[in-house]
Amino acid sequence: MAYLKLATASWLTPIYLLMVAITVVAVVANVLKQRKLSAQIVGGMVLVPLVLRLLLVK
């Protein structure tokens, strides 16, 4: 309930959350298709702030 309240705080918030969600899925897809470990780690690093922002944890 608190999440929904925060996610609809303004008309732009759900749109931006959708953009972040699409980016998260695309980054995960990229990580899964990468063969190099370094590229997978970089993808994982990028996922940290994206997922936390998507969950509105931070």
Enumerate binding residues for another protein (CB under 8 A). Answer: 12, 15-16, 19-20, 22-23, 26-27, 29-30, 38-39, 41-43, 45-46, 48-50, 52-53, 58
- If the CB atoms of residues 6 and 15 are measured against another protein, the closer one turns out to be 15
* Residues 21, 51 contacting (CB under 8 angstroms): no
Q: How far is the CB of 5 from another protein (least distance, A)?
A: 21
Q: How far is the CB of 21 from another protein (least distance, A)?
A: 11
Q: How many Å from the N-terminal Cα to the C-terminal Cα in the chain?
A: 17
Nearest to 30 by CA among 14, 50, 57: 50
